[in-house]
Amino acid sequence: WASKIKDQFYKTKQNAQAYPYVWGSYIVVYGTLGLWLTYRWRKLRKTENNVRLLHDRLRKLV
């Protein structure tokens, strides 16, 4: 079982050394996508919290 993992690791390592620009572009694209999704997720959570606060204030006023 461990040997299969090692074999797959070495195959992946050889492929990355053979095609560095392809792997680099994957890292850039998916890394940027991950950062953007994280940014949007946090912005959404912040907006939801602000809506809850405003809703509570409105409830207290009425």
Q: What is the spatial distance between Cα 47 and Cα 55, in angstroms, rounded to a whole number?
A: 12
Q: What band does 1 get if pLDDT is binned at 50, 70 and 90?
A: confident
Mean pLDDT of the chain: 95
Per-residue model confidence as pLDDT tens digits over 27-46: 999 999 999 999 999 999 99
Statement: the pTM of the whole predicted model exceeds 0.95: no
N-to-C CA span, the chain? 65
Q: What is the spatial distance between Cα 3 and Cα 48, in angstroms, rounded to a whole number?
A: 48
Q: What band does 3 get if pLDDT is binned at 50, 70 and 90?
A: very high
